[in-house]
Structure 1
Amino acid sequence: MIHLDAQQVQSALNFPALIKALKDAFCSDITTPMRHHHDMANPNASRETTLLLMPAWQAGEKAGVKMVTVAPDNAQVNLPAIQGIYLLMDLHTGTPEFMMDAPTLTSNRTAAASALAASFLAREDASRLFMVGTGALSSKLIRAHHAVRPITHVTVWGRSKAKAQAVIDQVQDLNLTFEIIDSIEQGVKNADIISVATLSQTPLIKGEWLTEGQHVDLVGSYRPDMREADDDVVKRCEIFVDHRPGATKETGDIKEPLDNGIISIDDLKADLFELSNGTHSGRDNDQQITLFKSVGHALEDLAAAMLVAQYYKK
């Protein structure tokens, strides 16, 4: 079995190839049982540590399982919030072939899923990206959106300006115009694409700030008690998700408005399966405000892991 660290996984992935691999996977026959989601009591922290187990397999090809923990307080001890491994196996024999760094795989496939959604939902001329959050995902989301839309200007908001600058430093090679701002409202009002990747439990984006033609990309809320956007956002937007069962159960940005009658299940226009296979075309016009909510899907992990494996089997 081959062990791949974070740098080796990163070296095997680029966003144009990964976005295509995800689109192909959403049109394929990959089997993905509902992921196991366990909140583990953590008396020494402000919140529970979450354990996620995410299996997927493609008949006659590969099987994989991701095992990760999410510990929201890890920033206080200079550790990433998400840690874990991905195991890729030959399905025919059951032989483990690769064990790879799961956080790197996760951050890349998550950003690629957002970009895949944006390729259907963001205006074709979208050039101004507002990045809310400064975690490990932020630089990946900037690169991924840049791969599908003509981004020229990126604004970054974070609770720490030093961390915001660190995000910018990681993507300086893109030769874009960068700006750090103090006001989320200002950033929203001046953006074509608003990408939000935080661990916030209270809404950061308000619907009253949105204007025609924008695309909202919500990435961070992975639990029912987490929100990145308020009720006015979901009421004003055409809503799309990566996976309907996960989005309606696991994220507060969708589950809470559904439970409170703010939106109905019919307001979820399509998921990435339907967008990728052409069942739904995505954005209809330049005036719509679209929203994509990502919760993560084991299919994405398997597609990314198989791409990494192909790179190292050349």
Structure 2
Amino acid sequence: MDATPPVPRLPRTIDEAGLRHALPMAAAVEALRAALRDGPDPEADPPRTIVPVEHGQLLLMPAHRSRYAGVKVATVAPDNPAAGLPRIQGQYLLFDAATLTPVALLDGIALTTVRTSAVSALAADLLAVAGAGRLVVFGTGPQARGHLEALRAVRPLTHVTVVGRTSARVERFVAAARRVTGLTVEAGDPSAVATADLVACCTTARTPLFDGALLPPHATVTAVGSHERGSREVDGATVLGSTVVVESRAAAAREAGDLIPELESGRLAPEALVTLADLAAGAASADPDRPRLFKSVGMAWEDLAVAGAAYEAV
């Protein structure tokens, strides 16, 4: 008699609380560092699939590495906030690489928040001056909160300036950040970048947030707000005056709205872009006499690295 086939186990569910408990921010940064060291070149990642739908976009981001495969399915609905719903929603399905058996279903938005903040912190750890203590954060949403947490994990922050469009949201962010971190946190304006060690751009801005000519030579800027050609958080002065670091040259040329005008005009040569992988491996370095800009578009290998580490830690 044939043996009864085994009943497949349901994937483990990991919600936001479970993810954050299993993978503190410092551990997420190290998971990404290990992925850069041990995994395939990020240039080999499949491109993000963007499908326009009536009320927004469907996004698909698949990836495969030695132990796991995975795919994130996310939606972007610009009108949702007016209805009290998140602008971005989604789930991440993690598979065992050897059998392609689903092993975990993760909150895709919590995963995105953690991995985006963690990859910025990894870049800052590789780029920022050792004593970086003054941070300017543009934005008051989940990514702004995540970046404050992540950058505290890699640098000795002492002072945080928050810049946002809505004073009430800025005030709430400042109060919460003071309570959680114990740091000096205050509201400010874009000119605060003139005295910043670190600048985190965490917005959906379509036009630059500050004048790049104000940046001190030692400053490190992370810009993570979008993966769209028409969006910009930093200006040409920032791009052309900085060492520019990206996750992947190909992904940046497709999706990095902050860089595309300079790339397509020829003012910025593609080969001038430093990759995060080369930086982590010591194969490239930043010019210590000018600012450093890390432009992230978010990549599938990052989601997979964080999802796999969280699954193993639960």
Return the TM-score normalized by structure 1. 0.91
Is 1:283–2:283 an aligned residue pair? no
Q: Residue type matched to 1:156 in 2?
A: V
In 2, Cα distance between the equivalents of 1:140 and 1:36?
Answer: 23
**Residues 130 and 188, structure 1, Cα contact 8 Å, conserved in 2:** yes
In 2, Cα distance between the equivalents of 1:210 and 1:147?
Answer: 23
Q: Residue type matched to 2:149 in 1?
A: R
CA shift for structure 1 position 169:
4.5
Mark the CA change 1:169 to 1:57 in structure 2 (over 3 Å): closer, same or farther.
farther
The match for 2:36 is 26
Q: CA RMSD in A?
A: 1.7
How many residues align? The count is 301
In 2, Cα distance between the equivalents of 1:166 and 1:13?
Answer: 26
In 2, Cα distance between the equivalents of 1:179 and 1:128?
Answer: 11
What whole-Å deviation, never above 9, does each CA across 1:40-90 have from its counterpart, x for those lacking one?
A: 1446xxxxx23221111123x111111111223332222222210000111
The match for 2:6 is none
Please give the secondary structure, in 1, of the residue aligned with 2:74.
strand
Q: Structure 2: 5+ residue runs without aligned partners?
A: 1-10
Please give the secondary structure, in 1, of the residue aligned with 2:230.
coil
The match for 1:88 is 94
Mark the CA change 1:204 to 1:301 in structure 2 (over 3 Å): closer, same or farther.
same
Q: Structure 1: 5+ residue runs without aligned partners?
A: 44-48
Is 1:204–2:216 an aligned residue pair? no
What whole-Å deviation, never above 9, does each CA across 1:112-157 have from its counterpart, x for those lacking one?
A: 1001001111111110000001121111101111111111001101
**Residues 217 and 292, structure 1, Cα contact 8 Å, conserved in 2:** yes
Q: Residue type matched to 1:40 in 2?
A: P
Please give the secondary structure, in 2, of the residue aligned with 1:72.
coil
**Residues 49 and 60, structure 2, Cα contact 8 Å, conserved in 1:** yes
Is 1:109–2:115 an aligned residue pair? yes
In 2, Cα distance between the equivalents of 1:311 and 1:262?
Answer: 45
Is 1:194–2:199 an aligned residue pair? yes
CA shift for structure 1 position 160:
1.5
Equivalent position to 2:275, from 267, 271, 294: 271
The match for 1:15 is 25
Q: Which structure 1 residue ranges, 4+ long, deviate > 4 Å from structure 2? A: none
The match for 2:237 is 232
In 2, Cα distance between the equivalents of 1:79 and 1:162?
Answer: 19
Q: Residue type matched to 2:89 in 1?
A: Q
The match for 1:307 is 309
In 2, Cα distance between the equivalents of 1:82 and 1:217?
Answer: 21
What whole-Å deviation, never above 9, does each CA across 1:253-272 have from its counterpart, x for those lacking one?
A: 1112111222111321x211
Is 1:52–2:55 an aligned residue pair? no
In 1, Cα distance between the equivalents of 2:281 and 2:76?
Answer: 32
In 2, Cα distance between the equivalents of 1:169 and 1:12?
Answer: 27
**Residues 135 and 198, structure 2, Cα contact 8 Å, conserved in 1:** yes
Please give the secondary structure, in 2, of the residue aligned with 1:54.
strand
The match for 2:75 is 69
The match for 2:48 is 36
**Residues 138 and 197, structure 1, Cα contact 8 Å, conserved in 2:** yes
CA shift for structure 1 position 227:
0.6
Q: Residue type matched to 1:288 in 2?
A: R
**Residues 231 and 262, structure 1, Cα contact 8 Å, conserved in 2:** no
Equivalent position to 1:246, from 251, 273, 292: 251
Equivalent position to 2:219, from 196, 214, 228: 214
The match for 2:125 is 119
Q: Residue type matched to 2:48 in 1?
A: H
Deviates more, 1:21-30 or 1:116-125: 21-30
Return the TM-score normalized by structure 2. 0.91
Please give the secondary structure, in 1, of the residue aligned with 2:153.
helix
**Residues 52 and 67, structure 1, Cα contact 8 Å, conserved in 2:** yes
**Residues 37 and 50, structure 1, Cα contact 8 Å, conserved in 2:** no
